[in-house]
């Protein structure tokens, strides 16, 4: 969500005349916010290209809805109202998938993380993985 945001560009419209980086932005101008660049900026994150989930432990917003370091759910007044539920569900879902299944790559090749072309940043090659239910979980999974 941070390294590879689903929507790397967010579209906004300026509500009033303003100056940004020395440029005058008239009211009503359509703006593209480069979420990928912000969320991968070394000024915001130490080693931004590395996957380190522990960096999010204790991460707090600013309280006003404007956390420009992590914008997976948008920002400001228009951010997703289900952000807290979404973050909790991601943890629960990942824990369940890890607990219930053994995961492996179909080949020994490294996973290709090259970005493809598209509005929502697909990968150039889809991720293929093999999963098998863990022995102790097979009965539980069959009851679901």
Which residue ranges make up the annotated binding site?
A: 80
Residues annotated as binding site for heme?
A: 80
Closest CA to 26 of 14, 10, 8: 14
Q: Which stretches of 1-144 are assigned E, i.e. beta strand?
A: 9-13, 18-20, 23-25, 30-34, 101-104, 130-133
Number of CB atoms found within 10 A of residue 134's CB: 14
Side-chain-side CA neighbours of residue 41 (13 Å): 12
């Amino acid at each position: 969500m941070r390294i590879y945001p689903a929507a790397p560009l967010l579209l906004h419209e300026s509500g009033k005349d303003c100056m940004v980086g020395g440029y005058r932005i008239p009211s009503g101008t359509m703006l593209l916010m480069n979420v990928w660049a912000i969320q991968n900026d070394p000024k915001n994150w130490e080693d931004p290209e590395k996957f380190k989930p522990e960096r999010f432990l204790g991460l707090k917003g600013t309280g006003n809805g404007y956390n420009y370091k992590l914008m997976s759910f948008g920002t400001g007044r228009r951010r997703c109202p289900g952000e807290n539920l979404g973050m909790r569900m991601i943890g629960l879902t990942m824990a369940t998938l890890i607990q219930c299944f053994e995961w492996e790559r179909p080949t020994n090749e490294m996973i290709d993380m090259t970005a493809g072309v598209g509005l929502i940043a697909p990968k150039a090659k889809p991720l293929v993985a093999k999963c098998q239910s863990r022995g102790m979980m097979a009965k539980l999974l069959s009851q679901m």
